[in-house]
Amino acid sequence: MEPRRDFHHRLDELYVELLRMGGGLLATMEKTRLCFLELDHVAADEIIAGDHLFDDYRNRLEEEGLELLALQAPVAVDLRMIVVIMRIAQKFERMADLCEDIAVAVKNIRAVSLHSWIKEAIDEMARRSLRLVERALEGFKERDAGMARELEAMDDSVDRLYRGFFREFDRGRDEELDVAVRVIMVARFFERIADHAVDIGDNVRFLVSGR
């Protein structure tokens, strides 16, 4: 296979591998959402045990991306595609780490500890964060630079939910301190996932426009 054809074949494989990583992340996020909603300690253990898969994805994508950069010296859109794939792989890996953090928090919350308002509020944040990641991945596949603005607006709604949730604890709710701390952390972790999705939108904009 001639060098340029081999390069584009390997770049296509890199692209497909990132999409596979994104699909796995979406499945893990949904599992994490249900894990918190049901305070499912078995699911929490599974999420924690599976985190290394995303580390492996990121490592493979970075190693292959760096090799293509070093050996092929790509330019223009090919160069940007490799850089963006590696950046998004890092974002996906960080989101998976946040899912693991949520699972660890779940393992330290007793099923009888949470009022329904807490579960409902965080579940809404989780659903919106999941939609953000889905939209970010779709924008990458479609190379839709305008999608970045849409993601920012979607993220604003998650931020508002987070601030509203935090204020509820300032009103003298009667949750135990350790439970309050853990659920606030869970809400923060979902909010951070949404932030990472917005960063992916910025990377898609860079891929398309070079800016």
Residue range 63-105, pLDDT digits in tens: 999 999 888 777 788 899 999 999 999 999 999 999 999 999 9
- pLDDT bin (cut points 50, 70, 90) of residue 209 is confident
DSSP character at residue 146: T
Tokens of 133: 């990641």
Please tell me the distance from the alpha carbon of residue 131 to that of residue 147, in angstroms, as a whole number.
13
Tokens of 62: 């970075």
Please tell me the distance from the alpha carbon of residue 3 to that of residue 174, in angstroms, as a whole number.
66
Percent of the chain with pLDDT over 90: 65
Tokens of 86: 């590696």
**Residue 132 CB burial class (10 angstroms; 0-12, 13-18, ≥19):** buried
Question: Do 80 and 207 form a contact (C-beta atoms < 8 A)?
Answer: yes
Given a cut of 60, whether residue 172 has pLDDT beyond it is no
Average of per-residue pLDDT across 156-184: 77
pTM of the model: 0.91
DSSP character at residue 111: G
Question: Do 150 and 35 form a contact (C-beta atoms < 8 A)?
Answer: no
Tokens of 24: 């796995």
**Tokens 């998976």, residue located:** 96
**Tokens 């296509």, residue located:** 12
Pick from 156, 170, 210, 203: nearest CA to 18: 203
Question: Do 155 and 197 form a contact (C-beta atoms < 8 A)?
Answer: yes
